[in-house]
């Protein structure tokens, strides 16, 4: 399977076999990601990190991934300290950066930016989130976390809870999971339920789907609970927000009858969706999930640079 | 020729032989700059990049140059995230940075800053632009681009077009070119023509000079067209600006009768001085010109650090 | 003596023997810090530099220290370009960064932050200043500078002058010096004198202490003068500030009868506490003191990472 020079724009661009190949490659990266083994496979290579909006977690993990493999980075963490206000188009900036690096990571507030960048770049472009669009490396690290904890993705009962309407992360993950055929449960207030097109797509892929608005109805059968934040900004008024704000907070009392091997995931940062007391339970996987960004991104960097 | 510990403050500090030696050295750097060869000549060395005003292109290319040679960087991209507001003088900052690095790149809004920094530093200082002053590495990469495309700098007919009055880039380049004796044509509206002292200097160097305000009168004989932006801020009122704003836009229709091997250059970023349709013509050299910043800066870093 | 995985939160956490061991280790780092020798002891290791307030000098010297030893860094120079405004707790941020690095340097405006971070991190945390709290690597480099200049710390007469009331730096250094038993002189206006608890502590350690408000009464017997800035913000009104603002400026006229081997130190940046003319005297040690941040931090990084 050859990924050399491929762009990583959308999780849609990958077949199930390709996803599994990436996850297998990521598995091999774990000891290097943990700093237990050193590796210089990407020595001399330069990663450009263009963050048109800040995303500290994503930026740090791409930079760590590159540096754990002996590579270097150039870039910016947010556009305020750049000279881009002079009015250069994204296409021109990409053609410039293309000359200064071997691979480009782009975070941009506008949907479609990563696809555009990929068209103008001769070097591979990795989408690190483009507005309401895709964030494929987040989806891959989510899949990696489930597979690592459960041995396989197939056959799990996965509960998504929180804001399922606006969350880019849960849409992409639901799409990707539908390749593997687990059971998906969507738990959200009526106004924040999973969009119809996502439900239709995953159902068409033979994925069993149940929806509801009470987490208690689903959590005790779950293998995975994927929690997302309900954001105040989504609500027209404070009163509407307050009705749903804290209804799904994960606390130890809620976990009394769950499966022993239930895992709780969250893309982070969390605010109060998961109480800190949960961190010490064996169910908490969100910090390990954050770590998994490193081996997954290491694998992708090596693959698109054609370094084995 | 020994450049060890020399400061790169002004293009004036170099003889013609020295300029050619730098361009020859840059030529050797091209495969490393492209990432086709790896090199660790500057391993263990640290470049300090002090950008008192943002200049993303220049910063990226210095950092890439350093990292392609195995070196490291410390620095800041703009002064807002620094603690310099505490009132430290530039001299004190330089003496501090001097202790933390092997070579210093300085971008500063005030003319003369680089010369001052060079006086207080025991390590070589490279001027990456000081206000209305010099930006010698830009001049060197411009010369490199012309020589690379044409085989030599001598004997070419070079047209400068746009804002020739305020553009630091074109003044320095005109001065430098006068060492090599090409023919120079200055095309600009009356109010934005090349300053008298530049014209007098290059004429005194036996450089043939013609001036005019219609690009059509010059472009069909040209070997090189060097385009610069006309900036709105230079005009007392909007109406004056609108008269000249778009008169020199390079489009394909303008290129119908030009020489086959005409090259079009631009220091970038462009706004609308060159239409995107021109990018696909064989005349477009501005992205290659941007790339050339890397081998030129690699050569300079190696030379001033005394690493062969 | 084993420092592997230890946090460097406060100078209080170290015995006199441990301090001397660190200074001995720093001594060995000097040729590498100067760039005269190359070393790759920390190759493959990643330092996270989390600066919740800018401190350019401290950040640069940690980054240089890491890179001189072949290591890499990820981090931010101030929190404005991060996504931390989303409301993540420091504990959660630390657990994330913990997964992406081998050692963490934290600068934070709130006292106690470094201790908190150390509790939540599995990797060693180095405090680079937490508000009115500690800045132990500054204290260590101050001790290193005195020992280097004088051969030993014991037996010296050390004058602190300036704002002794609010200066974190002088409190920590006075505490640390009391382990070594020099004589301490505190010179400040009445309203900015050394806090009673510091004086009581160092006296209890058999350190001889004298206080006064005229530098002239102390400087001619001094072996070391440690100067700090008097900050306008500390005063309720301008008139009060003006009374003491410039009373302790170090000028050459003040140095006419000092010991030949008197050294003058300052944590930098200075404003006008030391006239530039003093820089050229053999007494000036403040730039060397700034340089000493590198070998001291190199030694600490190696020690806490368990790399010999």
Q: Does domain A11-134+293-304 have CATH number 3.30.470.20?
A: no
pLDDT in tens, B130-188: 988 899 999 999 999 999 999 999 999 999 999 999 888 999 999 999 999 889 999 99
Which residues are CB-contacts of B237 (< 8 A; sequence separation ≥ 6)? none
Alpha-carbon gap, residue C191 to C211, rounded angstroms: 13
Beta strand extents in B52-195 (DSSP E only) = 72-76, 103-108, 125-130, 157-161, 183-187
- The answer to whether residues B248 and B215 touch, using CB atoms and an 8 Å cutoff, is yes
Tens of pLDDT, residue by residue over B15-54, are 999 999 999 999 999 999 999 999 999 999 999 999 999 9
On whether the B137-290 domain is CATH 2.102.10.10, my answer is no
Tens of pLDDT, residue by residue over C202-258, are: 999 888 999 999 999 999 999 999 999 988 877 888 888 888 888 899 999 999 999
Contact A87 B290 (CB under 8 A): no
Nearest to B292 by CA among B145, B170, B105: B145
**Nearest alpha carbon to residue B126 among B69, B52, B48, B67:** B48
How would residue B14 be classed by pLDDT, with cut points 50, 70 and 90? very high
For residue A156, which of A248, A259, A284, A13 has the smallest C-alpha distance? Answer: A259
CB A84 within 8 A of CB B56: yes
Residue C230: its H or E element: none
Is C135 within 8 Å of C128 (Cβ atoms)? yes
Same CATH topology for B11-134+292-304 and B137-290: the answer is yes
The set of catalytic residues of B is 57-58, 86, 107, 135
Distance CA C233, CA A244 (A): 46
Strands laid side by side in the B183-187 sheet: B209-212, B183-187, B157-161, B224-227, B263-265
As a whole number of angstroms, the distance between CA A276 and CA B268 comes to 50
- Residue ranges of the alpha helices (H) in chain A? 16-33, 56-68, 90-100, 113-120, 136-150, 168-177, 196-204, 216-219, 238-244, 286-304
The residue ranges of chain C whose pLDDT is under 50 are none
Residue B10, chain C, CB below 8 Å: the answer is: no
The answer to whether residue C77 neighbours chain B at the CB level (below 8 Å) is yes
Structure tokens at B143: 């010369």
ipTM confidence:
0.94
Q: Which residue of A has its CA nearest to C86?
A: A269
Nearest to C95 among A40, A80, A287 (CB): A287
Query: What is the distance of C-alpha C125 from the center of its chain?
Result: 16
Give the pLDDT score at B243. 84
Q: What is the pTM of this model?
A: 0.96
A206-215 confidence digits (pLDDT tens): 889 999 999 9
Out of A7-16, B243-252, B258-267, C249-258, which region has the weakest mean confidence (pLDDT)? B243-252
Q: What ranges do the domains of chain C cover?
A: 11-134+292-304, 137-290
Q: Write the DSSP symbol of residue A274.
A: B
Give the DSSP letter of residue B201.
Answer: H
**Extended beta strands in chain C, E state:** 46-51, 72-76, 103-108, 125-130, 157-161, 183-187, 209-212, 224-227, 263-265
Q: What is the arithmetic mean of pLDDT over A25-49?
A: 97
Identity of the residue in B63, B70, B270 whose CB atom sits nearest the CB atom of A74: B63
Q: Do C83 and A39 touch (CB under 8 A)?
A: no
Q: What is the pLDDT of residues A246-298, one digit of tens each?
A: 899 999 999 999 999 999 999 999 988 999 999 999 999 999 999 999 999 99
What CATH number belongs to B11-134+292-304? 3.40.50.1370
Give per-residue pLDDT as tens, A45-69: 999 999 999 999 999 999 999 999 9
**B92 and C54 in contact by Cβ < 8 A?**
no
Handedness of CA B201, B206, B211, B215 (dihedral sign): negative
Nearest to A71 by CA among A31, A32, A41: A41
Distance CA C170, CA A157 (A): 60
Verify whether the Cβ–Cβ distance B80 to A83 is below 8 Å: no
Report yes or no: B82 at the C interface, CB cutoff 8 Å.
yes
């Amino acid at each position: 399977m050859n990924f050399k020079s491929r762009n990583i724009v959308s999780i849609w661009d990958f077949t199930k076999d390709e996803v599994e190949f990436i996850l297998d490659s990521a598995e091999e990266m774990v000891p290097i990601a943990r700093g237990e083994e050193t590796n210089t496979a990407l020595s001399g290579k330069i990663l450009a990190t263009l963050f048109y909006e800040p995303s500290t977690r994503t930026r740090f993990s791409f930079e760590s991934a590159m540096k754990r493999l002996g590579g270097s980075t150039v870039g910016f963490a947010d556009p305020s300290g750049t000279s881009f206000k002079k009015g250069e188009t994204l296409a021109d900036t990409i053609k410039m950066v293309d000359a200064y690096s071997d691979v480009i990571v782009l975070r941009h507030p506008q949907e479609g930016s990563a696809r555009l960048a990929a068209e103008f770049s001769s070097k591979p472009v990795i989408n690190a989130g483009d507005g309401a669009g895709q964030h494929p490396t987040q989806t891959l690290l989510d899949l990696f976390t489930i597979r690592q904890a459960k041995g396989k993705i197939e056959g799990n009962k996965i509960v998504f809870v929180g804001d399922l309407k606006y969350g880019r992360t849960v849409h992409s993950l639901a799409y990707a999971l539908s390749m593997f055929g687990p059971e998906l449960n969507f738990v959200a207030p009526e106004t924040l339920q999973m969009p119809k097109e996502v439900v239709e797509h995953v159902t068409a892929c033979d994925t069993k789907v149940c929806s509801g608005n009470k987490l208690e109805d689903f959590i005790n059968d779950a293998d995975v609970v994927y929690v997302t934040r309900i954001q105040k900004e989504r609500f027209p008024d404070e009163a509407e927000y307050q009705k749903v704000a804290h209804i799904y907070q994960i606390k130890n009392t809620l976990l009394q009858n769950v499966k022993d091997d239930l895992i709780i995931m969250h893309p982070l940062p969390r605010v109060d969706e998961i109480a800190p007391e949960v961190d010490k339970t064996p169910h908490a996987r969100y910090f390990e999930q954050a770590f998994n960004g490193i081996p997954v991104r290491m694998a992708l960097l090596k693959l698109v640079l054609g370094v084995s």
